[in-house]
Amino acid sequence: MNRRDFLVSAASAAGFARTRDDCDALAHPALLAVLGGETVRGIGQRYRALVATERDREPLRSAILASGPLRSFWMPRAALAQRVRADFAAGRTVLVAGWVLSVTEARQCALYSLLPSPPTPR
Amino acid sequence: MHIDARTLPNGTVLEGDLCIVGAGAAGITIAREWIGARQTVLLLEGGGLQYEAAMQDLYRGDIVGLPYFPLEAARLHLFGGTTGHWAGFCSTFDGIDFAARDWVPHSGWPLRREDLDPFYARAQPLLELGPYDYRAAFWQQQDPALVPLGLDPSAVWTKMWQFSPPTRFGTTYRDAIFAAPNVRLYTHANVCTIEPNDAASAVQGLRVRDFAGKELRVRARHYVLACCSIQNARLLLVSNVGNAHDLVGRFFMEHLEIPSGRLALAPTAAPAGMKMYEWIPHVTKARGELALAPAVQREQRVLNATVSLDPGAPDEVAQSTFQAVTPDVLAAQRDSEAAGSHEPSSPPVPSPPRSGRFFHVMTRQEQAPNPSSRVTLSSDRDALGMPRARLDWQLTALDKQSFQRFYDVLGREFGRSGLGRVQVLDWVRTEDPAWPRTLSGGWHHMGTTRMHRDARSGVVDADCRVHGIANLSIAGASVFPTAGAVNPTLTLVALSLRLSDHLKRRLA
């Protein structure tokens, strides 16, 4: 393990990945810009229904964080984007509601679906 | 020269050097090549110069097996053939389409793509296409707005198409055929029987019949069947010619044209727009579709396919080709053109992209060659007394699996590139081998007299001559051993040019 990997692992282990910004990023997949909130919420609900062990916030966060060190932990959004692309490249994909998704972003959708729905504008 | 065969006395014998049966894209292509030659060419067309319901009814047939479009609506029985209602989609087969692929039973042509290249180049102007260049980069040079998506071309590449106006062979080449002193076009000349010699080693003559029961005889040094895949097979089966190995009519193939998924582009995916993938009838000269690279096809062991991206809304349900273009739509188009309009009568012009980021993904996949997918003869007879065709369209597990793997790769590549996400429709992802109600072909009939070097595996040889019959050749898509991913017209015209060159050497 080189110095950088050590720092990254240590930071993850120490809970750096649970900063407010990070939690926000985990529950806000880049997919929102592609599919919109309603579809992403639906995907998240389907994922939680499909994967019995990942229905709640903590197991979902843990699964995302445990699936590999977030190398750029100080920039969780960029790191997550990188992770999502790596998932696709490695075939770590899952079909949810027919969408071909990275495992990481599917979990992000599930986290997003646990957030309270935004109020309907009057 | 044009002669209406109905005006000839019963028992008339037509004699020439080369007799071409069928005046569609293949038949007219060959006939044109012989204009001015010293040989006499007889061009026999069963229909007339205009659409006639009674003639069209001769193409009616039985459909068993998978549901299919009415046979009498899928082909046109008149001078010019089905070019009278085609849409003009043209592209070349890929190198892999000609190869023997160990995961595709019965695949492999006795030709390579390079062998066809010079004929593709000659076919381009006949179909009123642009330069013989199907590289995306070339078309981007012609129009900088044609920008391919930034996918990894070693996984998913942009395959180019060109669009014919579309060329209606019956009108575009009519004057040239009529004016040719050595080409005699006989309309209303339906060939009902091919008569072999006693040894069944050559064709001795043809028998032509009309509705009044009048018969003509045809004698030539060489004969070419160019009546389309179903009718070529029907005529050979009726005449019991070329079928020593029970191959005639087998391996009927279509292109599986089915809505299969949706694409949501990322907001930054196509800053230059999606003109590269748009098609506006009578306007678009070239566009791209997405296809898997040959190496990926090998790795995934899938059939070749391309997908078009049709602008739509996320909650819309896309229609298949058969659903969108019904026999009524085709009839309206035909009537409109007969009335002199060159504009489409139906509304196939796609509306502009609504959101600009959502697309229906329509697949056009080759069908795996399948001996059980076949044309045989019906017990029902047509008005000329000929047994009608009976189509038993059958697909295999490979056809379905290929869709699944294609969309898995496509979805991963859009995700990896960050360009968007792909949604796969239910019918694609289910393990159920059944096909959806949207199952559709493209009215592309291929393969019923397939080409193979070995007479036990093909009806015609590499020169399109019927195995064992010295003076009978076949033109058209019926000789295709595999269907490729693209519409057959350009390739069948190229093959017809190649056959014509071959016959010129033989009949010199």
Question: How would you write B173-207 as a 3-class SS string?
Answer: CHHHHHHCCCEEEEECCEEEEEEECCCCCCEEEEE
pLDDT at A98: 97
Q: How far apart are the first and last CA of chain B?
A: 22
B427-445 as b/e, with b when 16 or more CB fall inside 10 Å? bbbeeeeebbebbbbbbbb
Q: How far is A34 from chain B (nearest CA, A)?
A: 5
Can you tell me the distance from the alpha carbon of B475 to that of B495, in angstroms, rounded to the nearest whole number?
A: 7
Q: Do A85 and B420 touch (CB under 8 A)?
A: no
Other Cβ atoms less than 10 A from the Cβ of B485: the count is 25
pTM: 0.92
Q: Which of A50, A96, A99 to mutate to test the interface with B (most CBs of B within 10 A)?
A: A99
| B448 token code pair | 């019923």
B266 contacts on A by Cβ (under 8 Å): 33-34
Which residue in the set A88, A89, A95 is minimally distant from B429, CB to CB? A95
More reliable by pLDDT, B508 or B254 = B254
Nearest Cβ partner for B425 among A81, A87, A98: A98
Residues on chain A touching B315 (C-beta within 8 angstroms)? none
Q: What is the pLDDT of residues B108-139, one digit of tens each?
A: 999 999 999 999 999 999 999 999 999 999 99
Choose among B394, B366, B404, B387: nearest CA to B484: B366
Q: pLDDT tens-digit profile of A19-46?
A: 555 567 899 999 999 999 999 999 999 9
> Beta strand pairing status for B420-424 and B255-265?
antiparallel
pLDDT for res A73: 52
Chain A / chain B CB contacts < 8 angstroms: 58
- What per-residue confidence (pLDDT) applies to B321? 81
- Which one of A35, A85, A100 has the shortest CB-CB distance to B411? A100
Q: CA-nearest residue of chain B to A39?
A: B314
CB contact under 8 A, A100 and B420: no
Q: pLDDT tens, B22-77?
A: 999 999 999 999 999 999 999 999 999 999 999 999 999 999 999 999 999 999 99
Q: What percent of chain B has pLDDT above 90? A: 89
Q: For B347-405, how does the pLDDT look when each residue is reduced to its tens digit (9 = 90+)?
A: 444 444 445 899 999 999 999 999 999 999 999 999 999 999 999 999 999 999 999 99
Residue of B nearest to A32 (CA): B266
| pLDDT higher than 50, residue A57 | yes
When pLDDT is cut at 50, 70 and 90, the band that residue A120 belongs to is low
Q: Do B415 and A85 touch (CB under 8 A)?
A: yes
Lowest mean pLDDT among B166-175, B215-224, B290-299, B427-436: B427-436
Residue A4: pLDDT band with limits 50, 70, 90: very low
Distance from CA of A98 to the nearest CA of B (A): 5
CB contact under 8 A, A39 and B267: no
- Best interface-test mutation with A: which of B260, B299, B416 has the largest number of A CBs within 10 A? B416
Q: Predicted confidence band at B332 (pLDDT cuts at 50, 70, 90)?
A: confident
pLDDT at B325: 79
Identify the residue with better confidence: B166 or B339.
Answer: B166
Q: What is the mean pLDDT of chain B?
A: 94
Shortest Cα–Cα distance, B49 to chain A (Å):
50
* Average pLDDT over every residue of B96-115: 98
Nearest CA in chain A to B406: A100
Q: Minimal Cα distance from B415: which residue of A?
A: A88
Show Cβ contacts of residue B482 under 8 Å, excluding neighbours closer than 6 positions: B97, B98, B104, B106, B107, B108, B109, B253, B366, B369, B447
Q: Is the confidence at residue B322, as pLDDT, over 70?
A: yes
Which residue of B265, B357, B415 is in closest CB contact with A88? Answer: B415
CB contact under 8 A, A87 and B267: no
Nearest by CB: B426 against A39, A84, A98: A98
DSSP letter (8 states) at residue B474: E
What pLDDT shows up at residue A1?
A: 41
Closest alpha carbon within chain B to A92? B412
What element of type H or E holds B58? none
pLDDT in tens, B453-495: 999 999 999 999 999 999 999 999 999 999 999 999 999 999 9
8 Å CB contact between A97 and A48 = no
Collect all residues with Cβ–Cβ distance below 8 Å to A57 and sequence separation of at least 6: A111, A114
Q: Which residue among B267, B410, B416 sits closest to A89, beta carbon to beta carbon?
A: B416
Quick one: pLDDT at residue B97?
98
Which chain A residues contact residue B357 at CB under 8 A? 34
